Structure formats: structure tokens, C-alpha cells
Amino acid sequence: MNAEPKMTSRPTRTPAEQALADMLSAAPVSEAGRLGELRRAAAAAFVENGLPHRRVEEWHYTDLRALLRTVPARRAATSTPGEAVSFPNAIRVTLANGEVGPLPAELPQGVSLLTLADAIASDHPLLQRLGAAAPALYDAPLALNTALLGAGLVLHVAAGVKVARPIQVAQLFGGEAASVFTRLLVVVEEGASLSLIESFEGDGAAYLDDTVSELFIGDGAALDHVRLQAEGAAAIHLGTLVADLGRDARYDAFVLTLGAALSRLTVHGRFGGTGGHLGVRGASLLSDKRHADVTLFVDHAVAGCESRELFKTVLADSARGVFQGKIIVRPDAQKTDGRMMSQALLLSDDAEMDNKPELEIFADDVQCGHGATAGALDGKMLFYLMSRGLPREEAEMLLIQAFAGEAVEFVADLAVREVLTAHMTRWLEERHR
């Protein structure tokens, strides 16, 4: 709510903007057809608008123009990063610095997986979905990702197929710092179900990871999605999730944010048919000077859908957490039921939490609400635990775990939940070391 003007003329390019613009001119779009047009339009949009800054409402608390000082070049991998986090029973595909590793030799019946490069080369019909549910509003990381499209995967689950084992797309970054743009297109057809895990891990290099996942969940289909962001300490993570739900579709996501120097995750959830359920939950545990921003848009475009968002942010040292969530209920979306909650725990006086939960409602027969809290650990609880003999550190850890645990609880797969909990416990233990 700053009474500041909209920029009428574009400011001069920052070095990062220049580097990105150069990257775009170095990779001119040659292909014809829909994909070519999409890419050219995205490139032009970036050249026109550049990186967002604090006067762009959606980026008010994450001034990318100021925060992104340098952008490493796009280059082939110089070294192979180590092993990705393993989830029990999951079928895993690894992308090393954006390069897709060997695809699994065997996939469950009804599941197909191909590299984005192969899909583009063969003009695969699934590519018609690419960008189809993307928001109309200009968004720099999404535009760059589209303009520099090439690396990534296309995953398809045929109608009615219930995939028993989770499929993990593991991204690893290492070696000389690079800018990597990856795209994951997932289509879960009518009545099918899938459990998808995405993980992002890296070494200490100052790499940039701009990654977009587009998820199409057909009528009556279900997708459980876990996203573990444990990027390297100097990394920039720019993530976009686009979930498009059909009639009676269900999407439940859990995002755990632990790493990267600067992290932004934008989630767009859109209901395309009635009876949809969307649940996006997450926990961010941030230390040092990390800056992590989670921004959600939940678009109730049709009637009779339900959305649930719950985010827990724990901030230590000089970390900064941002949560922005917007529930939009369009004029015809009667009987919408939307609930959003963001809670932050500040463990240090140098930490900062910025919360902006929004409601934008144009239908009257709705039940919508949001809440937000910020504060330190509850002194009364701490004393209660200590009075029963728990040393302070242990009592604090228990309370923090319980705080974040209320969100993790929504991960239905217990084995997956355990891996996530172990990551959170490790974060807590490292903090006390």
C-alpha cells in the first residue's frame, strides 16, 4: 500500500537483466507452430518487462531486480553431482544440472515418461498442454523458463490407472555455477492417480535453478505431490507450480523449503470443474540469511470447489520468510469453501516474516477465511515442558517440530513423510550444533 506510481518508462537494465536478455538472444527460437509462438512471446515479454521489483505487487517482498545481482551462464555440466535423496519405494529419474539421466527401464503399466527434448523433436501431442494453464499475468521466471525451453520431462498417466509407487524427479546441481531452466509436464488422465515427488539439491555453487512444473489433473483424477527444496546455500531457486484441476479432481501438495540463498515458489492452482479439492501445505525452515518466498494463487473459477492452504515458517538467524496467498472466487463460483493459514515462528530478533493473505471474492454463497500469525515460541509451553524435565533445547526442538509437524501431517504416504521429517530434524539439530 505504498502510494508510489506505476513505472511508466522502463528503467535501465541491471547486469542480471542484461545477462538474461543476452541468454535469450543467444538462443533464438527457430521452431514454428504453437510452441515457437509461445517461446517467442515469452522472450519478448521478458525483454519488455525485465525482472520484477517491489512495486510489482506480486513481488513486493522479493525484489528480484535488486536481489538477483549476477546470473551465471548456461553451460553443460562440468561435474556430476552426488546422489539424490532417496524416498522408499520411489521410481527415480535424476536430472543433473538439467541434464536428464537414464530413464527407468521399467515403468508401471499405463505410465509413460519421455524427455522434453524427445517430445519436442517428435512434436508429441501432449505438448499441446504445455503453457495451456499458465497464468495470463506476466511472470519473469515463468517467461524465462518458457523462452529457454528444452530441458525436462513429460510424464503421462493413462486414464483410470492408479500408480502404486511414487515417481521421483530428482534434480541435482553441482560443479561450476550455471543457470538451468527445466520444465516438467505431468498429465494425469481421467480417473487416474499418481504420487509425484520432486527434489532439488545442490552443492555450494551460486547456480540459478529456474524450474516450472505444469500439472494437469483430469476429471476424477488425483495427484499427491511432494516438493523438497534443499538447494545449495548459495543457490537461487525460482520455482513455479501450475496445477489445473478437472471436475472432482484432487490435488494435495506439500512443499518443504530448506535451502537456497534466495528462493521463490509461485503456485497457481486453478479449478476447471466443480467438485475439485486442492490442498497446498508447506513448511519452510530457514537459517542464516536465507530469503524464501512462497506465493500462492488459488483461482476458484467454477462453483463447488474446496481449497486448503497451510504454511508454517520457522525463521532463525537473519532469515526472511514471505508468504503471500490469494484466494480468488469468481462470480459464478458459488459454494466455494476456501481456507488459508500462514503461521510463522521467529527464533531470532534479526529474522523477518512478511505475510499477505488475500481474499478476492465475487460470489456471495461462499465460506472463505484466512488467518496469519507471527511470533516467538510460546513461553508458557516452553516452561511447561521444562517443568517436566526437558532441557531448554530439547523443549524448543519439540515445540518447533510440533509447529511444523501440523503441516507435514498432511503427507498421506508415511514413508515419504518420514523422509521429510528427517530433513526437518536435521535442520533443527544443525541449528543447535
Q: Is 398 in the site for another protein (CB under 8 A)?
A: yes
**Which of residues 375, 412, 422, 425 is near another protein by CB under 8 A?**
375
Which residues in the 54-83 window bind another protein by CB under 8 A?
Answer: 57
Q: 143 exposed, middle or buried (CB, 10 Å; 0-12, 13-18, 19+)?
A: buried
Q: Does 364 bind another protein (CB under 8 A)?
A: yes
Residue 432 lies near another protein (rule: CB under 8 A): no
Residue 374 Cβ vs another protein, minimum distance, rounded to whole Å: 4
Nearest distance, CB of residue 433 and another protein, angstroms = 19
Tell whether residue 106 is a contact of another protein (CB under 8 A). no
Q: Which amino acid is at 388?
A: R
Nearer Cβ to another protein (114/401): 401
Q: Which is nearer to another protein, 64 or 366 (CB)?
A: 366
Decide: is 406 part of the binding site for another protein (CB under 8 A): yes
For the bound state, the minimum distance from the C-beta of residue 352 to another protein, rounded and expressed in Å, comes to 5
Q: How deeply is 410 buried, as exposed, middle or buried, from its count of CB atoms within 10 A (0-12, 13-18, 19+)? A: middle
Is residue 372 within the footprint of another protein (CB under 8 A)?
A: yes
Minimum CB separation from another protein for residue 113, in Å? 37
Query: Binding string, 289-328, against another protein, x = CB under 8 A?
Result: ----------------------------------------
Q: Which of 102, 388, 414, 433 binds another protein (CB under 8 A)?
A: 388
Interface with another protein, residue 374, by CB under 8 A: yes
Residue 337 corresponds to which cell in the numbers above? 469453501
- 288 touches another protein by CB under 8 A: no
Does the protein bind another protein through residue 172 (CB under 8 A)? no
Backbone torsions φ then ψ of 366, nearest 5 degrees: -135, 160
Q: Which residues bind another protein (CB under 8 A)?
A: 1-6, 8, 57, 331, 334, 344, 346-349, 351-376, 378-381, 383-392, 394-395, 398-399, 401-403, 405-406
